[in-house]
C-alpha cells in the first residue's frame, strides 16, 4: 500500500498552523452537545522577568522574538541549544508559534467561535523546554511566575479559557502551600513533568517514593486533577530524530501509570485524579491487559499488595486525551468511554485546527451519541470543573 492510513481527508497535506484557517462547522451537532478541548496551548511570551525578585532578575527566563522566531534563554543561555544541534526558531514560528491565536486572546476566541469549541483547558508551550533542563535554577520563581501569567491570560478569555499550573513537585515540604497557591490563582488542572529531575536535596525524584506522598496528599485534597503531558524530550540533532521523538512520546504513559499504580499511590490517595494528555488513547487497552496479567502472574513479588487489580485504578482514577485516534475509539469498550476526552491541541502542528469539525464528526461516527457527548465535552467539564 502506498498511501496514508489517516482517515480524515483534511489531515493529509495540511498547511502549517500560521497558514491554516479555522474550519467552520458544516452541520449541527446533536442537542446537548458541548465541545470542550481538554488540551490546548498558549505561548508564554516574556512573562518571567517582571515577576522575579530583583536579586534574581538576571537569571530569569527571557523570551524574545528575533530572527523570525521566539528564543528563550535562562541566565543568557539559549534553552534547547546543544552541541551539534541547530535550533531553528524561525521554522518553529512558521510551524505553529506565529499563529495569531497563540498569543492574542481575541484571535484565539475568534478561532474557537469558528470551529465551535466552547471551552479550552490551556497548557503551556515553551515551559516544557524548561522541564527538560531538569536542574533548572530558581524553579519556585520560574513556575510561580508562569502560574500568575497564565491566570491573567485566561482571565481575559470571557469564561472560556481555563489555566493549567505547575505546583512545587521537587520539595514535598512546600507542596501543600504551592498547591493552595495554584488553587487561589484559579488552576483547573495541575501539571508536573514526566521526567522530574532532582529534588530539593539533589536526589532523583521517583513518583512512587514514599517521600512524595506529601505532594500526592496535597493534590488529592485540593480536588484539582493532575496532568502529565507529552513534549519534554524533543531532540532533532540526528537523522530521523524529530519523527522518532514524537512517535515515542505518543506511545503512551506506561512509565508514569505503572509506578503510580503498582506503587500504591492510588490506594493511599483514592481521591487523586490523573489525566494523561496528548498521548492518545489506544495505548490504554494493551496496558491494562498487561498490568493485570503481571499482577496476577507475579503475586509473590508485588510490593505493596494492591486492594484491587491494577486496571481498577484506571477506571476509578485516570483519564486520557486524544485529538484523532480511530484505533482507540474502536477500543472504547476496553478503555471506558467515560475515561477519555477529546482535545483540539490548538494550535500545534498535530492539532485538529483547520479540521476540527471533521475530527468531532469522527467521534460521533465511532460511538453512540451519549458516549460521544461525554468524550467531546461533558467529561472534561466534570473532571476539570469548567462551569
Whether residue 76 lies inside any domain: the answer is: no
Residue with more model confidence, 243 or 369: 369
CB-hemisphere CA count at 13 Å for 314?
Answer: 27
Whether residue 210 lies inside any domain: the answer is: yes
Strand ranges in 152-212 using DSSP code E only, listed in sequence order: 161-165, 189-191
The C-alpha atoms of residue 362 and residue 188 are separated, in whole angstroms, by 27
Q: pLDDT tens-digit profile of 239-298?
A: 777 777 777 777 779 999 999 999 999 999 999 999 999 999 999 999 999 999 999 999
Report the interhelical angle of 139-155 vs 172-185 (nearest 10°).
20
357: CATH:
3.20.20.140
The C-alpha atoms of residue 260 and residue 254 are separated, in whole angstroms, by 10
Q: CA nearest 182: which of 194, 191, 170, 173? A: 191
Whether the pLDDT of residue 70 is over 80: the answer is: yes
Q: pLDDT tens-digit profile of 282-337?
A: 999 999 999 999 999 999 999 999 999 999 999 999 999 999 999 999 999 999 99
Whether the pLDDT of residue 78 is over 60: the answer is: yes
Whether residue 328 lies inside any domain: the answer is: yes
Whether the pLDDT of residue 83 is over 70: the answer is: no
Yes or no: say if 173 and 214 are a contact pair by the CB < 8 Å rule.
yes
pLDDT at 131: 82
Whether residue 220 lies inside any domain: the answer is: yes
Distances (CA, A) of 376 to 190, 348, 352, 382: 21, 19, 13, 12
Q: What is the mean pLDDT of residues 82-103?
A: 82
pLDDT at 237: 60
pLDDT at 77: 86
Yes or no: say if 208 and 262 are a contact pair by the CB < 8 Å rule.
yes
Residue with more model confidence, 14 or 37: 37
Q: What is the mean pLDDT of residues 170-183?
A: 97
Q: CA nearest 363: which of 383, 343, 335? A: 343
pLDDT at 2: 64
Whether residue 167 lies inside any domain: the answer is: yes
Question: What φ, ψ does residue 95 adopt, rounded to 5°?
Answer: -75, -40
Residue with more model confidence, 310 or 6: 310
pLDDT at 25: 80
Whether residue 246 lies inside any domain: the answer is: yes
Q: How far is CA 100 from the centre of its chain?
A: 21
Residue with more model confidence, 138 or 234: 138
Q: What is the mean pLDDT of residues 364-386?
A: 98
- Residue 119: all three cell numbers together: 471551552
Per the structure, the count of domains in the chain is 1
Q: What is the mean pLDDT of residues 373-387?
A: 98
Q: CA nearest 345: which of 62, 121, 156, 22? A: 121
Q: CA nearest 135: which of 219, 195, 52, 46? A: 195
pLDDT at 85: 59
Question: What φ, ψ does residue 367 adopt, rounded to 5°?
Answer: -155, -175
The C-alpha atoms of residue 324 and residue 307 are separated, in whole angstroms, by 34
Whether the pLDDT of residue 224 is over 60: the answer is: yes
Q: What is the side-by-side strand order in the sheet with 189-191?
A: 36-41, 119-123, 161-165, 189-191, 226-229, 274-277, 318-322, 340-342
Whether residue 77 lies inside any domain: the answer is: no
The C-alpha atoms of residue 188 and residue 344 are separated, in whole angstroms, by 18
The C-alpha atoms of residue 109 and residue 358 are separated, in whole angstroms, by 20
Find the angle CA(310)-CA(221)-CA(161) to the nearest 5 degrees.
95
Q: pLDDT tens-digit profile of 125-146?
A: 999 888 876 557 899 999 999 9
Q: Report the relative pairing of strands 69-74 and 61-66 from DSSP bridges.
A: antiparallel
Whether the pLDDT of residue 359 is over 90: the answer is: yes
Residue range(s) defining the domain that contains residue 289: 36-44+100-383
Find the angle CA(285)-CA(288)-CA(292) to the nearest 5 degrees.
150
The C-alpha atoms of residue 153 and residue 308 are separated, in whole angstroms, by 42
The C-alpha atoms of residue 379 and residue 122 are separated, in whole angstroms, by 16
Average pLDDT value for the chain = 92
Q: What is the mean pLDDT of residues 350-357?
A: 94
The pTM is what? 0.95
Whether residue 148 lies inside any domain: the answer is: yes
- pLDDT level of residue 176 (50, 70, 90 thresholds): very high
Q: pLDDT tens-digit profile of 106-120?
A: 999 999 999 999 999
Dihedral sign for Cα atoms in the order 94, 96, 97, 103: positive
Poorest-confidence range of 9-13, 63-67, 150-154, 213-217?
9-13
DSSP-H helix ranges across 186-281: 213-222, 241-249, 254-262, 265-268
- Residue 72: all three cell numbers together: 528563550
Residue with more model confidence, 247 or 379: 379
Q: Is 226 left (phi over 0), alpha (psi -120 to 50) or beta?
A: beta
Amino acid at each position: 500500500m502506498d498511501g496514508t492510513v489517516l482517515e480524515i481527508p483534511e489531515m493529509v497535506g495540511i498547511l502549517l498552523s500560521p497558514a491554516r484557517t479555522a474550519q467552520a462547522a458544516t452541520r449541527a451537532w446533536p442537542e446537548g452537545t458541548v465541545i470542550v478541548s481538554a488540551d490546548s496551548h498558549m505561548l508564554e511570551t516574556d512573562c518571567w522577568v517582571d515577576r522575579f525578585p530583583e536579586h534574581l532578575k538576571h537569571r530569569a527566563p527571557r523570551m524574545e522574538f528575533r530572527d523570525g522566531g521566539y528564543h528563550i534563554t535562562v541566565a543568557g543561555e539559549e534553552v534547547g541549544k546543544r552541541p551539534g544541534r541547530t535550533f531553528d526558531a524561525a521554522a518553529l514560528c512558521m510551524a505553529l508559534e506565529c499563529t495569531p491565536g497563540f498569543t492574542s486572546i481575541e484571535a484565539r476566541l475568534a478561532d474557537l467561535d469558528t470551529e465551535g469549541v466552547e471551552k479550552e483547558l490551556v497548557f503551556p508551550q515553551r515551559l516544557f523546554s524548561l522541564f527538560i533542563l531538569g536542574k533548572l535554577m530558581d524553579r519556585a520563581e520560574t513556575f510561580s511566575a508562569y502560574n500568575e501569567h497564565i491566570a491573567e491570560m485566561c482571565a481575559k478569555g470571557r469564561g472560556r479559557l481555563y489555566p493549567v499550573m505547575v505546583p512545587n513537585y521537587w520539595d514535598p515540604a512546600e507542596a501543600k502551600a504551592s498547591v493552595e497557591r495554584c488553587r487561589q490563582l484559579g488552576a483547573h488542572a495541575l501539571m508536573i513533568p514526566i521526567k522530574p529531575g532532582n529534588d530539593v536535596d539533589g536526589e532523583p525524584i521517583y513518583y512512587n517514593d514514599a517521600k512524595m506522598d506529601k505532594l500526592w496528599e496535597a493534590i488529592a485534597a485540593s480536588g484539582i486533577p493532575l496532568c502529565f503531558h507529552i513534549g519534554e524530550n524533543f531532540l532533532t540533532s540526528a537523522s530521523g530524530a524529530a519523527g522518532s521523538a514524537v512517535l515515542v512520546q505518543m506511545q503512551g504513559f506506561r512509565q508514569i501509570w505503572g509506578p503510580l499504580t503498582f506503587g500504591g499511590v492510588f490506594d493511599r490517595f483514592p481521591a487523586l485524579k490523573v489525566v494523561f494528555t496528548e498521548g492518545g488513547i489506544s495505548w490504554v487497552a494493551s496496558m491494562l491487559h498487561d498490568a493485570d496479567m503481571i499482577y496476577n502472574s507475579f503475586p509473590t513479588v508485588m510490593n505493596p499488595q494492591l486492594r484491587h487489580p491494577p486496571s481498577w485504578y484506571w477506571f476509578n482514577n485516570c483519564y486520557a486525551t486524544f485529538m484523532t485516534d480511530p484505533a482507540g475509539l474502536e477500543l472504547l469498550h476496553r478503555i471506558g468511554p467515560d475515561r477519555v476526552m477529546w482535545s483540539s491541541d490548538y494550535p500545534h502542528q498535530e492539532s485538529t485546527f483547520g479540521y476540527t469539525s471533521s475530527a468531532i464528526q469522527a467521534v460521533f461516527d465511532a460511538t453512540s451519541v451519549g458516549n460521544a457527548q461525554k468524550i467531546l465535552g461533558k467529561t472534561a467539564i466534570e473532571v476539570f470543573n469548567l462551569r
